Amino acid sequence: MTTYNKTTLKTFFEQGDIPTGTNYADLIDSQINIVETGNQSMAGALTVPELITPRVSAAAANFSGDVSAANVYASGLIVAGDVSATGTVYTSALRSTNGVFAGVGIVSAAGTAQATAAVLTNVINRGKGIVDGSTTGFTPLANSAGLVQYLFNEGASANLWPPVGGTINGLAANAAFSVAASSMVTIVHLTASAMAAK
pLDDT digits over 15-35, tens only? 999 999 999 999 999 998 889
**127 vs 1, 42, 100, 135, 192, CA distance in Å?**
68, 54, 21, 14, 23
Q: Which secondary structure element, helix H or strand E, spans residue 24, and what is its range?
A: helix 21-29
Per-residue pLDDT at 43: 82
**Among residues 157, 164, 163, which one has the least CA distance to residue 178?**
157
The band of 41, judged by pLDDT with boundaries at 50, 70 and 90, is: confident
pTM: 0.59
**Do 111 and 94 form a contact (C-beta atoms < 8 A)?**
no
Q: 2.60.120, 1.10.3470, 1.10.10, 3.40.50: which CATH number matches 104-197?
A: 2.60.120
Write the pLDDT tens digit of every residue in 140-194: 999 999 999 999 999 888 999 999 999 999 999 999 999 999 999 999 999 999 9
Contact 194, 145 (CB under 8 A): no
Cα–Cα distance between 188 and 198 in angstroms, integer?
Answer: 9
The ranges assigned to domains in the chain are: 1-31, 37-101, 104-197
**Is residue 80 over pLDDT 80?**
no
Q: Determine the pLDDT at residue 135.
A: 62
